[in-house]
Each structure stands twice: as C-alpha cells, then as structure tokens.
Amino acid sequence: MAATTMGGSCAAGGLTKEKLAPFATPKVASKLALVCCLDAVYMLSLYKAVTLISPVYVAAIKRGGGVLMSSLIGVSCFGESVTGRLPPIFAIAAGVVLLCLK
C-alpha cells in the first residue's frame, strides 16, 4: 500500500524531499516499519486461513472481528462510550457464530 501511494505521489509530482522529511525521523520511521511488518503478518495469516478453511468463513470472521476490535480499542484507548454499540456488536457476533455453526 505504501508503494502504491508513494508511486502515485511521485507520478503526480507531489513527492518532494520536504514532504518526506517528517517520515524520515527515527521515531516515525520505526513506527511505519512496525506497521508494515504487522500488516505483512496479518495478510499472510489471512491467506493461510483461506487455504485451510472456506473463504466465506474467513471473510465473516475478518469483518466481524474488525468491528469488535475497533470497538474495544475505541473504548479502552480513546474513552468512547460502548452503550450505543452493544446491540450491533452482539448482532455481528451472533451472525458470525451462526455462519460458522451452519
């Protein structure tokens, strides 16, 4: 994804040293490298899961798990309220469980 973004920016003429300078600091560059590594592990795990079980189950668990994780991270890290999210969270979790039990 980074290569596509940088390639598009370079082709459009918007990629300059001044714009890249904030990303070259060790603190930011190390965080970007960590995100890239975690994304690679995530994608490889997803592809391996598709080879082991049905892609329908993988997609359902991925989407449902993403919603659950984003809700949990929002509540735990950003102090968001969970009160309005409980019914959709339970509906998604029930749907994924029913799909996997079928």
Domain spans of the chain?
Answer: 11-42, 53-102
SS3 labels along the chain:
CHHHHHHHHHHHCCCCHHHHHHHHCHHHHHHHHHHHHHHHHHHHHHHHHHHHCCHHHHHHHHHHHHHHHHHHHHHHHHCCCCHHHHHHHHHHHHHHHHHHHC
Residue 57: the pLDDT is: 81
Mean pLDDT, to the nearest integer, of 81-102?
82
Tokens of 94: 């029930």
Give CA–CA dist 19/98, Å, rounded: 49
What global pTM score does this model have? 0.58
Nearest to 54 by CA among 91, 94, 90, 102: 102
Residue 46: the pLDDT is: 87
Q: What is the pLDDT of residues 27-72, one digit of tens each?
A: 888 888 888 888 888 889 888 988 998 888 888 888 878 888 888 8
